[in-house]
Amino acid sequence: MAEESSSLALTLHPLVIINVSDHFTRSRAQSDSAASNAPRAFGILIGAQSGRQVEIANSFEVKLIPGGCGAPSSQPGPDLENLKARLEQYKKTFADYEMLGWYSTAAGTPGTSEALQDGDLAIHQALCDFCESSSLLYLTLDPVAALAGVQRELPITIFESEVHVVSDTPTMQLAVVPYKIDSIESERIAVDHIAHILPTGDSN
């Protein structure tokens, strides 16, 4: 699987990172589990694309159902009917944005293909069929690495779809895409505000 071979110019906004982190934190709190055992959080990435210039500006959560969106029957996956309704709601507010991909949280090796989990490719393929596009992005956040704080790089990996010929058969694969972080003034103010919020009580 090729890594960082894309010509895609990808920009990720801090709001997306905050949304995904908050989604995982709430899922973990509700399940009362350790980070490595907390339920995976799933959602959709939205933004704007012009040619190979892609800007991931926002994200939202989606309802999960067993076996949803191509996932194995024993695993949760996005509910396509719920996804369709949420997209229609967002289009009314953000007319210039479109669905660019999806996200999930799971432990892996950030920045490599090891960040992929069983069933991810099936979900990705189903979402491509849903959007009639094979160029969707997939963002993963490793909450274990994030909480450990042992690395300076963000524990986020972004993949894009690639079609390779395997045994004379076109086969979809996911390849790592490099990205940069960018923000608008309102986001910088919000991120700075969040960074100065102190935890309450005895918990860190």
Q: What does the pLDDT read at residue 118?
A: 82
Whether 204 has a pLDDT exceeding 80, the answer reads no
Whether 27 has a pLDDT exceeding 90, the answer reads no
The edge-to-edge listing of strands for the beta sheet with 169-176 is 169-176, 156-166, 137-141, 98-105, 42-50, 53-61, 9-12, 180-181
Between CA 87 and CA 47 the distance in angstroms is 12
Backbone phi and psi for residue 8, each to the nearest 5 degrees, phi listed first: -70, 130
Q: What does the pLDDT read at residue 201?
A: 44
Whether 191 has a pLDDT exceeding 50, the answer reads yes
pTM metric for this prediction? 0.81
